Structure formats: structure tokens, C-alpha cells
Amino acid sequence: MKNSYERFIRPLLFSLDAETAHHFTITLLRHGSKFDLALRALKAFQPSPKPKALFGLNFPNPIGLAAGLDKNGVAIPAWAALGFGFIEVGTVTAKAQPGNPRPRIFRLPEQQALINRLGFNNDGADAIAERLRQLRRSGRWPAVPVGINIGKSRATPLEQATDDYLYSFRLLRELADYVTLNVSSPNTPGLRELQDPKRLSELLQAIGREPRAATKPILVKVSPDLSSTELEAVLAACEENAVAGVIATNTTLDHSSIPPALDEEGGLSGAPLREKSTALLREIVGKSSIPVIASGGIFDAKSAMEKFQAGAQLVQLYTGFVYRGPRLLREIIEAEK
């Protein structure tokens, strides 16, 4: 049976172009984040607590908001009120940037999928750091862990990627409970090459040399399109550099399940990504003891259970949340009991 979001709100949102619907929702949640009454209303969706400790942090439940939904960190209190057990802001880049030309988000309802080629549109590390500082001062900072996901600015050549990440890291680390290095989005040319072991080690070593680096959990978000050999090298680099966790996975460039007439350039997420992303998760858990946050195709309690049973410590939602709404959180947590 459809929940009330699926019956009443989704048809309205899906009558708009995908990015307009996204802006509309974010604007509502951004305003809602400023009013206690609105936050109280959103709490109607909250699932019961299911605490989990990881990376030295306390998560009220294991279901997080995946990166990309709130790139600029404008609605953090609202996500917490809805019941997310942690919130990942970003991807944030050192320089503010507009991203690719529109249209750049596409819905595929039959496939329960999205394709996006946003290209890290965001306000930039300086503006986002200031916004997060203000939120901390306002007393509305949520009680759940907040991660910040950082990536490379498009204008920065790959050879200078490390400095670009360091710029954002230095500005944002004090404000975050953990920092994710995104080296796996398909929409910034060359970004995925940072998964190459030599480049990844250089980046991780540079981050590790920062003062008090060891006090902040560093996570690496990987692509589902890595081969076994590539994955092994990524895991070795992560282990050598004391990476706290891996997020598996980002969107895929494998569009083989999408009818050509519906296909678009960009990263594919949602149901068609599920299997591939779970397979990579299993491989990571089999090869390494690094804790994994699973992301990719979680649409219901069953697909979430699949991730936990495969060894994920935490999960994150994006496309499933767009299709199923905030009730999805409770659905997953109640099934886990």
C-alpha cells in the first residue's frame, strides 16, 4: 500500500521537473529549519531510536541522509527532525561553482531510478563553512552526527587536487563530525582517477599530515564501477592511511539496465544500482575490516536489510527517499527489530 507521501506529495513533486521539485523541497525544509513549530511537525515522522556507536560517534539510528540532497547544508535541523540518524552535507568544493547546464537530473519512475549529471553545483567551502558556523551559534545544530563530503573543484587540474581538498578540509573539519573524501562522482572530469592508489595515497597522506588529523574520522566514498583489482588497491591505501570508513557506493556509469530511449548521460542511482552496490559492499567486507556505510538502491526494509546482512554498519538514502518519502525511515527501522 502507498504511504501518504506517495499518494499526495510525490504526484505534486513529480509534476515538476526534477530539479525544480528538489529546490522546492529544499526551500521548504530550509525555512522549516528555522521554526520550532515546523521542526515539531516534521518529528511526526521520526522512527523510534536504534542507537549505534561507530567512529567514536553516537548515531541515534543507522539511517543517514546521503550526500547530494543537501549539498549546501541549508536544512540540517529539518533532516534531523525527520529522523535521519546522521546527515551528510555536500559535496562541497573549494570554489563555488554552478555545475553543468540544466536539465541535469532525470527521473526514471519505471526503473525507480534517477540519473544526474549535476557536476557539484554548490556554494563553495567558504560560504558553507560560514553557514554551518551560524547554525552552530544559533543553537539549532542537531543532536545527530553531521558529516561533510568534500570534492574537487572543476576548475582545479587533477594534479592540484590535493591542495583543493585540503582547502575545504581545513575550513570545514572543525564543523563536521566526520569528513568524506568523494573520489567517485562521475560528473567531474577526472575525479574518479583519484581512486588510483598513487593519487589516493597522496591525498590521504596530505590529509593525515594536517594538525590533529587523527581526531576527525576520515571516510572515502567509492564508485560501484571499480574492478576487484582496483578495489583492493583502494582498500590498501585506506588501511595504510588509517581511513575510518568507506562509503559504498556512489552512482554508476553502468546504464545497461536502462532502455536506450530513456537513457541520459550521468550517474545512475536507485533500484538498478542496488545489486552492483551490494556486491561491492560484500567484496569490501570480505577483504577488509574497515567499517562500511552502504548507499545504493535502498528503497524498502528488504533492500536495507540486504545491506546490513552484507556487513554494512550504517546506510544512507537518496533515490529511495525521493520515491518513498520520510516514512521509509520508520519502515526500515521497524523491520530491523
In terms of CB distance, is 30 or 276 closer to ligand FMN?
276
Residue with cell 576520515: 218
- HSE, CB side, 13 Å, CA atoms: give it for residue 257: 20
Selected binder of ligand FMN within 33, 156, 168, 250 (CB under 6 A)? 250
| Closest separation in Å from C-beta 53 to ligand FMN | 23
Q: Which among 129-137, 202-210, 283-291, 295-303 is the span making contact with ligand FMN, rule CB under 6 A?
A: 295-303
CA 84 to chain centre: 12
Supply the minimum distance, in Å, between the C-beta of residue 205 and ligand FMN.
22
For the beta carbon of residue 65, count every other beta carbon within 10 angstroms. 26
Cβ contacts of 190-193, under 8 Å, gap ≥ 24: 190/152, 190/158, 191/151, 191/152, 192/223, 192/225, 193/158
Minimum CB distance to ligand FMN, residue 250 (Å): 5
In the window 267-286, what residues touch ligand FMN (CB under 6 A)?
269-270, 273
Find the catalytic residue in 33, 184, 185, 269.
Answer: 185
Q: Is 73 in the site for ligand FMN (CB under 6 A)?
A: no
Smallest gap from Cβ 223 to ligand FMN, in A, equals 10
Name the pairing type of β-strands 314-317 and 86-92.
unpaired
Indicate whether 320 belongs to the interface with ligand FMN (CB under 6 A): yes
Where on the phi/psi map is residue 112: left (φ > 0), alpha (ψ -120 to 50), or beta? left
Binding mask 196-235 for ligand FMN (x = CB under 6 A): -------------------------x--------------
State the angle between helix axes of 327-336 and 301-309 in degrees (0 to 180), rounded to the nearest 10.
50
39 vs 82 by CB, closer to ligand FMN = 82
From 152-160, 188-196, 202-210, 294-302, span contacting ligand FMN (CB under 6 A): 294-302
CB 77 within 8 A of CB 142: yes
**Between 167 and 323, CB nearer to ligand FMN:** 323
Residues 6+ apart with CB under 8 A from 279: none
Query: How many C-beta atoms surround the C-beta of residue 41 within 10 A?
Result: 12
x/- site string to ligand FMN, residues 143 to 162, per CB under 6 A? ------x-------------
The residue number with the shortest CB distance to ligand FMN is 68
CA proximity to 143, closest of 70, 73, 74, 83: 83
Task: Show contacts with ligand FMN in window 115-134 (CB under 6 A).
Answer: 116, 118, 120
> Of 78-86, 134-142, 191-199, 266-274, which part binds ligand FMN (CB under 6 A)?
266-274
Residue closer to ligand FMN by CB (options 33, 112) is 112
DSSP 178-191: EEEEE---TTSTTG
- Identify the sign of the CA torsion 175, 326, 121, 187: positive
Closer of 138 and 309 to ligand FMN (Cβ):
309
Contacts (Cβ under 8 Å, ≥6 apart) of 195 = 183, 184, 222, 223, 226, 230, 234
Q: Is 30 in the site for ligand FMN (CB under 6 A)?
A: no
Which residues are CB-neighbours of 74 under 8 A, at least 6 positions away? 26, 29, 30, 33, 131
- State the minimum distance, in angstroms, from the CB of residue 31 to ligand FMN: 21
Is residue 4 among the annotated active site residues?
no
**252 is a site residue for ligand FMN (CB under 6 A):** no
Q: Is 114 near ligand FMN (CB under 6 A)? A: yes
- For the annotated catalytic residues, the residue numbers are 185
Residues that bind ligand FMN (CB under 6 A): 66-68, 71, 90-91, 105, 114, 116, 118, 120, 149, 182, 185, 221, 250-251, 269-270, 273, 295-298, 317-320
